[in-house]
Chains A and B, each alone.
Chain A
């Protein structure tokens, strides 16, 4: 199965009368896009803002970030936007250097931000893209969970709408992703077969009933299964929380395995799974996932990442242990949260961990001239004796003491960052 991405390296984005791409400049008809999004009954009013790398601008309450993509064969974000259908093959256009940023008007306690300049820009690719920001004011009485799903859908609509402008324009570059069926795809004997075990959600924060995560499914009770990596890259997966969709479309581990496929490894495939909430289900899912990698994908080694909170460190350690018991070698990418220990625990048998960074590492971000998506940000009261735990709302355009993990895209649990950690 072969997916060809036609890449458009966009140099600039601006509002104009018509939506089109010419000489690598993306023009957007604000009124047409706004009318398109205003059809959502839960939105009272939709604002579409544009901000460029280098601007003194801060985006607040980032809900999700999506790269504009358009599949020439249809089924854009099947089950979530378009009706269901399969993705991962054929030709898809992608607008590079551009991102659609969804903000959540209900999330007044959110610390997730994007700064378009200043120290944050060194950490996250999302601070360096031309960002089309959606701010939708909810109708009176709108349920915050329904609104959240509506906003996620609006982001997908916008991403598809913008990339559709590329369909009759020649791409700057083409990138192809091809992996034939496993049975026909054992590779040369000297290259180790590497599989990726990918928990995409942790139900410690359950998905909503009508929430589309994988091919439109709410993935409750999801059992480990084999998927084609192209499906992750081509719009089958929208993370519920804990990671941005942008990092599924630009999945760092899948990209790396493809990059080295045939050179120093053979990409054996992807096992998609979830982290459930009882220990019995965790044991079942992790064992099954490792089994699929070993007995169906015939992997020699596995890489696994995690998604979710501290509870999922358990699942990841189990995947590692089961994999090695079955005779494979394992390496985990696991995000650190705690300045004292990093992660919750490391069993004695686990000796191969990679860190994409520590979220709770303080950083001071300077005051900015412009803010999008709200006026205030909720910061922890920093009383030394913690006598008044909770948050205080402060004006978001001020200098802020945040954590590096608050910068959207600085550390993604699926293994994207520019960082490593050390003990100071």
Chain B
């Protein structure tokens, strides 16, 4: 829903794992899914440090 977020003025928005699992991916094995989540959160934290 990034386009909606940007349209209403929420400019720091990154792609999630999808509507039904924003910070997950059920197709991955549990270990890989944890890795995926960690990478996603690190990316989000990095975005907080960016100028918009």
Please list 24 pairs of residues, one from A and one from B, whose beta carbons are closer than 8 Å in the complex, sorted by A's number. Answer: A204-B19, A204-B20, A277-B18, A277-B20, A278-B15, A278-B16, A278-B17, A278-B19, A279-B2, A279-B15, A279-B16, A280-B15, A311-B1, A311-B19, A314-B1, A314-B4, A317-B3, A318-B3, A344-B4, A345-B4, A345-B7, A345-B8, A347-B3, A347-B7
Q: Find residues 1-43 in chain B having any chain A CB closer than 8 Å to their own CB.
A: 1-4, 7-8, 15-20
Contacts of B3 in A (CB 8 A): 314, 317-318, 345, 347
A339 interface contact, C-beta 8 A: no
- Chain A residues with a Cβ under 8 A of chain B: 204, 206, 277-280, 311, 313-314, 317-318, 344-345, 347
7 smallest CB-CB distances across A and B, nearest first, come from: A277-B19, A278-B18, A277-B18, A345-B7, A279-B15, A204-B19, A345-B4
What distance in Å separates the Cβ of B35 from its nearest Cβ neighbour in chain A? Answer: 18
Quote the shortest CB–CB distance from B20 to chain A (angstroms): 6
Chain B residue at minimum C-beta to C-beta distance from A344? B4
Q: How far is the CA of A318 from the CA of B7 in the complex (A)?
A: 13
Smallest CB–CB gap between A323 and chain B, Å? 15
Interface residues of B (CB under 8 A from A): 1-4, 7-8, 15-20
- Of all chain B residues, the one with the shortest Cβ separation from A279 is B15
Q: Using Cβ atoms and an 8 Å threshold, which residues of chain B touch A311? A: 1, 19
Chain A residues with CB under 8 Å of B8's CB are 345
Within 8 Å CB of B4, what residues of A?
313-314, 344-345
Residue of A nearest to B25 (CB): A278
Are B2 and A206 in contact (CB-based, < 8 A)? no
Q: Closest CB-CB distance, A34 to chain B, in whole Å?
A: 39
B7 contacts A206, CB within 8 Å?
Answer: no
Q: How far is the CA of A279 from the CA of B3 in the complex (A)?
A: 9
Query: Across the interface, which residues of B come within 8 angstroms of A279, CB to CB?
Result: 1-2, 15-16
| A345 to B, closest residue via Cβ | B7
Chain A residues with CB below 8 A from B17, complex form = 278
Docked Cα-Cα span, A233 to B9, in Å, equals 42
Give CA–CA (A314, B20) in the complex, Å. 16
Contacts of B18 in A (CB 8 A): 277-278
**Chain A residue nearest to B4 in the complex (CB):** A345
CA distance in complex: A204, B7 (Å) = 21
Most buried by A among B1, B3, B8, B16: B3
Instruction: Compute how far the CA of A313 lies from the CA of B18 in the bound complex, rounded to whole angstroms.
Output: 15
Q: How far is the CA of A317 from the CA of B18 in the complex (A)?
A: 18
CA A278 to CA B19, docked complex, whole Å: 6
* Inter-chain contact A206/B19, CB cutoff 8 Å: no
Contacts of B1 in A (CB 8 A): 279, 311, 314
Residues of B within 8 A of A318 (CB): 3
